[in-house]
């Protein structure tokens, strides 16, 4: 059985890299036979190497993965995405000056990297410094974000939807599937880090690009290919001045530039018109689309591709492009000081004057929507600003040995004026086979919008330490918020340009306690309670309670037990809103390490997210058990054209647990075994009769095992096994199953030199 397993593993590995696979796996087989010999040996740990006046440590982990999975490939790639092949699992280099030699360029050089060769996440870190002269740090990260949870935005087309003999296909992947790559680069340099005046410069870049899908309703539900290419570049320059002891003044300039070049086009057409022109009737065909001539949506199912009714809502062409540029220069001044006896202060003043430019918005539609529009083109520029002024100041006064008084004041004032001028040219029609009517005169929409937010928060806290084992604090927090906005378009009741102001005021109390009854036992807790006189949105809380407790117990030096509890309760229980939500979590864990030869870690956690809010919705037919919307009588909620009243109920109680056992029976052999599981048993209000619980009732488990065998000082063979299993307790629904299980074997050689 052992030989059969390794033969199969070798065959899979060799398909990716024959030579490397044979070398690494053969080494693994050979070292298994040396276990007994190695167990009897007692080698010293690898020695550091000294060269050129540096203490040098280098290591590399080189090997590869053998991935084997069954079930849903999209879900495996969404949650795991580890594939077979050779890898540079990790690499590190550390150089530190011995102090006996003067070095011209650097005293410390450190670099490490991981994941290269095909893993979805990889990084490289580099640091070089010379005592009081400079400190340089660089970091590069790349991660591939694949996501295809097929219930997301899925219309849940049931099987057997037929039009004139043609069966509409089911949507088997998420209409918002994406496969993007994000690359992040950070570079920072500090000059004269220990001097009274030091300088810092930095640069960061974040690029997100790749294909994804998106959708939009325009008579029919169009599926779009969304080509991502968004990037953010940030430059930082700063100076730190320490004019006197225990005081630092900082000025920092940050310039952030954003480029948004994501565009949209039709992902596929799939059907044709009678003249052979490709067409799409959309992907949401839960029932055959209504067509202007009253005939079926498919007029001839026997052509290749099938022929669609030209009077149905559909797409012939669609394009959208909105190149966006934003520039955010920010000036910031900070200070911190403990120069005055028994007083500590810190403060910050920050100003941002950002600009946004959309030189030319372009959207083109060719098809037929349910309003009789055959073709439309929308173009025009947008521009806007974001001006933000924020400041905070904090002071702590140690009144006496046992009493302290602190105050924290925070100020935020942002203003966002925006001007847009869009021109739309539309042509009407009744059939996609007939040329559209002459274009109407351009419809110009010019709008000036404004959104402003001003927030002032003041917190005063009294701290008391009555004994060496107990301390507590009590505080009061007041927050005032003003939201100002200008209506961009006219309504029946209000003219264009009408401005509003919305004021809210929060009052809250805070209480905290720290209790250390013994050196081994520590308990900390805090309570925050607040109330607002108004709520800006339906889900904004008017009443809030936040409870946090943490504790740890260390009966022995080799045993640590810890636990925590967190409960955030928010309510807006006014008539016809009835909003209630909470986020609760509780954890407990323990670490037992009686010796370096074995140890155990385990943890358990419970997490629950709950929400309920009254809202209106339209559904035909209404879902089972739905409540019809009441008529508007000036007292009961007005649902307008919506036909049903819902509760917005959502509850997702989740439990997770893990344990890890590490053993080292002999000095050269270390092994580990563990298990992790996360299980959720949630429910929600289903507005679609075909909707299923999906991930709200699911389990994800990942047991694992690893082995490390030291062949000689600095030369270690490693083997690792990880199992990934995902399953759902509810029905699959009218789409592909999402359950999968997979095994990922990693074989590597660790070499220190």
**Would the pLDDT of 286 be above 80?**
no
CA dihedral (310, 313, 314, 316) in degrees, to 10, reads 60
The answer as to whether 396 is a domain residue is: yes
The answer as to whether 404 is a domain residue is: yes
pLDDT the model gives residue 632: 64
- 735 or 621: whose pLDDT is higher? 735
Which pair of tokens denotes residue 678? Answer: 């996360």
| Domain total of the chain | 1
Sign of the C-alpha dihedral computed for residues 38, 41, 45 and 47 taken in this order: negative
pLDDT the model gives residue 637: 61
**Would the pLDDT of 9 be above 70?**
no
Distance (Å, whole) CA 494 – CA 517? 64
At residue 3, φ and ψ (nearest 5 deg) are -65, -40
The answer as to whether 319 is a domain residue is: yes
Give the closest residue to 126 by CA, choosing from 100, 173, 91: 91
**Would the pLDDT of 35 be above 60?**
no
Give the closest residue to 741 by CA, choosing from 728, 729, 730, 726: 726
- 13 or 501: whose pLDDT is higher? 501
**Structural contact between residues 82 and 119, judged by C-beta atoms closer than 8 angstroms:** yes
Residue with tokens 């074997």: 745
Give the closest residue to 160 by CA, choosing from 288, 272, 270: 288
- 6 or 105: whose pLDDT is higher? 105
Percent residues over pLDDT 70 in the chain: 91
Question: pLDDT per residue over 123-154, tens digit each?
Answer: 999 999 998 999 999 999 999 999 999 999 99
**Would the pLDDT of 176 be above 60?**
yes
Residue with tokens 């699911």: 698
**Structural contact between residues 402 and 466, judged by C-beta atoms closer than 8 angstroms:** yes
Distance (Å, whole) CA 249 – CA 196? 10
DSSP state, 280? B
**Would the pLDDT of 49 be above 60?**
yes
Sign of the C-alpha dihedral computed for residues 711, 717, 718 and 719 taken in this order: negative
At residue 175, φ and ψ (nearest 5 deg) are -65, -10
Which pLDDT band holds residue 463 (cuts at 50, 70, 90)?
Answer: very high
Average of per-residue pLDDT across 572-601: 93
Sign of the C-alpha dihedral computed for residues 504, 505, 509 and 510 taken in this order: positive
Which pLDDT band holds residue 370 (cuts at 50, 70, 90)?
Answer: confident
Residue with tokens 């925006």: 418
Q: Which helix (H) or strand (E) holds 38?
A: helix 35-39
**Structural contact between residues 742 and 69, judged by C-beta atoms closer than 8 angstroms:** yes
What range does the domain containing 328 cover?
173-267+311-450
**Structural contact between residues 352 and 276, judged by C-beta atoms closer than 8 angstroms:** no
Instruction: For 338-486, list the strands marked E by DSSP.
Output: 343-368, 373-397, 403-428, 443-464, 470-486
The answer as to whether 34 is a domain residue is: no
Residue with tokens 């806007």: 384
Give the closest residue to 639 by CA, choosing from 663, 656, 669, 614: 614
Give the closest residue to 144 by CA, choosing from 178, 185, 112, 175: 178
Q: Which residues, other chains included, contact 182 with Cβ-Cβ below 8 Å and sequence gap of 6+?
A: 142, 143, 145, 206, 207, 208
The answer as to whether 392 is a domain residue is: yes
Q: How many CB atoms are located within 10 Å of the residue 399 CB? A: 12
At residue 194, φ and ψ (nearest 5 deg) are -105, 5
Q: If 0-12 CB within 10 Å is exposed, 13-18 middle and 19+ buried, where does residue 409 land?
A: middle
The answer as to whether 345 is a domain residue is: yes
Average of per-residue pLDDT across 625-648: 75
Which pLDDT band holds residue 448 (cuts at 50, 70, 90)?
Answer: confident
Question: pLDDT per residue over 604-631, tens digit each?
Answer: 999 999 999 988 888 877 887 778 887 7
Which pLDDT band holds residue 489 (cuts at 50, 70, 90)?
Answer: low
- 584 or 168: whose pLDDT is higher? 584
DSSP-derived secondary structure for 246-277: TEEEEEEEEEEEEEE--EEEES---EE-TTS-
Mean per-residue pLDDT over the chain, rounded: 89
Percent residues over pLDDT 90 in the chain: 74
Three-class DSSP category at 12? helix
pLDDT the model gives residue 343: 97
Query: ω into residue 621 within 30 of 0, thus cis?
Result: yes
At residue 50, φ and ψ (nearest 5 deg) are -115, 125
Instruction: Find the farthest-apart pair of alpha carbons in the chain and give their distance in angstroms, rounded.
Output: 92
Sign of the C-alpha dihedral computed for residues 333, 339, 341 and 344 taken in this order: positive
Q: Which helix (H) or strand (E) holds 186?
A: strand 178-191
Three-class DSSP category at 208? strand
Distance (Å, whole) CA 145 – CA 574? 41
The answer as to whether 382 is a domain residue is: yes
pLDDT the model gives residue 12: 34
Q: How far is CA 100 from the centre of its chain?
A: 48
The answer as to whether 656 is a domain residue is: no
Give the closest residue to 93 by CA, choosing from 128, 68, 118: 128
DSSP state, 290? P
């Amino acid at each position: 059985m052992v030989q059969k397993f390794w033969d199969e593993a070798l065959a899979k590995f060799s398909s990716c890299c024959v030579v490397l696979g044979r070398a690494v796996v053969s080494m693994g087989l050979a070292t298994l036979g040396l276990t007994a010999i190695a167990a009897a040996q007692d080698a010293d740990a690898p020695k550091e190497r000294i060269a050129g006046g540096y203490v040098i440590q280098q290591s590399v982990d080189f090997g590869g993965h053998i991935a084997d999975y069954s079930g849903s490939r999209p879900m495996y790639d969404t949650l795991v995405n580890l594939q077979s092949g050779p890898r540079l699992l990790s690499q590190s280099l550390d150089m530190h000056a011995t102090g006996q030699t003067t070095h011209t360029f650097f005293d410390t050089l450190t670099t490490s990297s991981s994941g290269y060769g095909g893993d979805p996440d990889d990084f490289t870190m580099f640091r070089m410094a010379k005592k009081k002269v400079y400190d340089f740090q660089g970091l590069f990260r790349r991660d591939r974000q694949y996501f295809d949870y097929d219930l997301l935005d899925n219309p849940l087309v049931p099987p057997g939807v037929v039009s004139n003999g043609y069966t509409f296909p089911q949507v088997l992947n998420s209409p918002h599937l994406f496969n993007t790559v994000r690359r992040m680069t950070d570079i920072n340099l500090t000059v004269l880090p220990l001097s009274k005046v030091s300088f810092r410069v930095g640069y960061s870049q974040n690029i997100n690009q790749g294909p994804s899908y998106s959708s939009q309703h325009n008579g029919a539900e169009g599926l779009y290919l969304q080509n991502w290419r968004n990037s953010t570049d940030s430059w930082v320059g700063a100076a730190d001045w320490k004019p006197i002891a225990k005081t630092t003044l900082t000025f920092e300039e940050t310039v952030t530039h954003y480029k948004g070049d994501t565009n949209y086009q039709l992902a596929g057409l799939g059907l044709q018109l009678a003249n052979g022109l490709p067409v799409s009737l959309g992907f949401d065909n839960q029932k055959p689309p209504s067509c202007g001539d009253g005939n079926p949506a498919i007029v001839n199912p026997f052509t290749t591709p099938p022929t669609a009714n030209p009077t149905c809502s559909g797409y012939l062409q669609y394009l959208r492009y909105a190149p966006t540029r934003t520039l955010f220069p920010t000036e910031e001044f900070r200070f911190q000081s403990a120069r005055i006896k028994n007083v500590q202060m810190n403060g910050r003043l920050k100003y941002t004057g950002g600009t946004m430019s959309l030189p030319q918005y372009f959207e083109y539609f060719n098809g037929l929507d349910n309003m009789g529009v055959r073709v439309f083109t929308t173009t025009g520029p947008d521009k806007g600003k974001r001006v933000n002024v924020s400041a905070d100041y904090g002071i702590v006064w140690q009144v006496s040995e046992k009493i302290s008084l602190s105050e924290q004041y925070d100020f935020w004032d942002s203003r966002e004026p925006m001007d847009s001028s869009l021109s739309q040219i539309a042509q009407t029609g009744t059939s996609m086979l007939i040329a559209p009517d002459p274009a109407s005169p351009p419809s110009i929409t010019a709008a000036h919008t404004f959104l402003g937010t001003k927030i002032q928060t003041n917190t005063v806290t009294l701290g008391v330490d009555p004994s060496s084992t107990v301390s507590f604090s009590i505080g009061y927090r007041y927050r005032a918020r003003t939201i100002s906005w200008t209506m961009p378009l006219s309504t029946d009741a209000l003219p264009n340009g009408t401005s509003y102001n919305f004021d809210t005021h929060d009052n809250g109390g805070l209480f905290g306690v720290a209790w250390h009854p013994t050196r081994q036992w520590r308990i900390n807790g805090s309570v925050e309670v607040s109330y607002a006189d108004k709520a800006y949105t339906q889900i904004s809380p008017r009443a809030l309670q936040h409870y946090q407790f943490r504790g740890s117990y260390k009966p022995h030096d080799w045993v640590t037990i810890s636990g925590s509890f967190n409960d955030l309760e928010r309510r807006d229980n006014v008539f016809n809103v009835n909003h209630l939500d909470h986020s609760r979590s509780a954890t407990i864990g323990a670490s037992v390490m009686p010796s370096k030869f074995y140890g155990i870690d385990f943890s358990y956690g419970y997490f629950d997210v709950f929400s309920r809010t009254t809202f209106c919705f339209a559904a035909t037919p209404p879902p089972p058990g739905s409540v019809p919307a009441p008529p508007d009588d000036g007292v009961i909620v007005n649902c307008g054209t919506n036909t049903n009243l819902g509760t917005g109920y959502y509850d997702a109680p989740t439990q997770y647990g893990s344990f890890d056992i590490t053993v080292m029976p002999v000095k050269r052999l270390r092994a580990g075994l563990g298990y992790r599981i996360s299980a959720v048993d949630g429910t929600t209000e289903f507005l679609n009769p075909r909707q299923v619980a999906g991930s709200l009732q699911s389990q994800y488990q990942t047991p694992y095992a690893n082995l490390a065998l030291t062949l000689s000082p600095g030369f270690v063979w490693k083997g690792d096994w990880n199992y990934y299993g995902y399953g759902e307790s509810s029905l699959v629904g009218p789409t592909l199953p999402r359950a999968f299980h997979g095994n990922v074997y990693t074989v590597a050689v660790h070499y220190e030199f």
